[in-house]
């Protein structure tokens, strides 16, 4: 695994093998704020207004360190969703074979 410092949309983090981007703690806080603002501070599953109290849900590969912290991936699929805590606990993470590298 090759890990290189880098940026994505001006946020600090690391590129892993030049394919996955993982945010630093500072970058991650900014991503969560951007995500909340993008969806008008609402849970994307139930629609409740949650302001900045929601969780960012990784659609693909959060488990086992195979995460990618970009909101949208290059193939234009959304990777992060803004959910309330209840919906987040009920929503499974999908597996994507290309992230298993």
pLDDT, tens digit (0-9, with 9 covering 90-100), for 85-95: 999 999 887 76
CATH number for the domain including 42? 3.40.1800
How many domains, the chain?
Answer: 1
pLDDT, tens digit (0-9, with 9 covering 90-100), for 61-92: 655 567 899 999 889 989 999 999 999 999 88
Strand 3-8 to 11-16 pairing: antiparallel
Contact between 9 and 35 under an 8 Å Cβ cutoff? The reply is: no
| pTM of the predicted structure, to 2 decimals | 0.81
CB-count exposure of residue 16 (10 Å: 0-12, 13-18, 19+): buried
Range of the domain at 42: 3-100
End-to-end CA distance of the chain: 9
Angstrom distance (rounded) from CA 78 to CA 20: 14
């Amino acid at each position: 695994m090759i890990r290189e410092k880098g940026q994505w949309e001006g946020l600090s983090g690391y590129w892993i093998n030049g394919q996955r981007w993982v945010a630093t703690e500072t970058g991650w806080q900014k991503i969560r704020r951007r995500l909340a603002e993008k969806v008008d501070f609402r849970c994307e599953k139930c629609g409740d207004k949650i302001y900045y109290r929601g969780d960012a849900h990784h659609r693909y590969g959060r488990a086992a360190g195979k995460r990618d912290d970009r909101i949208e991936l290059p193939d234009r699929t959304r990777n992060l969703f803004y959910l309330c805590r209840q919906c987040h606990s009920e929503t499974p993470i999908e597996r994507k074979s290309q992230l298993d590298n």
